[in-house]
Amino acid sequence: MDHTFVMVKPDGVARGLIGEIVSRFEQKGFKLIDGKVITISQEIAEQHYREHREKPFFGELVEFITSGPVFAMIWEGKDAVKNARSIIGKTNPSDALPGSIRGDFALQVESNIVHGADSEESAQREIALFFGK
Ligand code: RTP
Ligand code: MG
């Protein structure tokens, strides 16, 4: 079975949306393999979002993701990366359809509630980065 890495971002944790988001993944049919609340260090944040290090929003992105606790998870299911991204919705909540997590709970691209790995490689790298496995 495929695995993917998903994380409720600090805005989602602060708004009390961990349960809602976990529930949506369970309802979709995913199986929760691991999960934990952590506050991400600057170093881990920069590694996690390293693909964006040249982008103008990189500094704000790292500042945001380290601004409070996150809920990091490993989910198992068929086509896990693709199906997780599908229920999360488009990056910009203005483009995310109602029914998706971002479509239902977010308004701004800078604070879009939840992260999902974007490829098999990213999923493996992020699972290793956050869970050491
Ligand atoms: P994520 O990595 O957080 O799951 O989001 P994503 O794959 O849907 O989008 P990605 O392109 O990887 O962007 C990472 C995060 O950067 C923020 N962002 N801000 N200000 C902007 O124009 C801008 N563009 C992207 C978003 O919070 C996005 O989730
Ligand atoms: Mg991404």
What pLDDT score was predicted for residue 75? 98
pLDDT in tens, 49-58: 999 999 999 9
**Is there an atom of ligand 1 within 6 Å of 115 CB?**
yes
- Cα atoms in the Cβ-side hemisphere of radius 13 Å centred on 103: 12
pLDDT in tens, 69-110: 999 999 999 999 999 999 999 999 999 999 999 999 999 999
Ligand 1 center to 109 CA (angstroms): 7
pLDDT > 70: percent of the chain:
100
State how far the Cα of 67 lies from the Cα of 35, in Å rounded to an integer. 19
State how far the Cα of 9 lies from the Cα of 64, in Å rounded to an integer. 9
- pTM for the whole thing? 0.97
State how far the Cα of 88 lies from the Cα of 41, in Å rounded to an integer. 24
Residues serving a catalytic function are: 115
> Which amino acid, 40?
I
Beta pairing partners, 111: 108
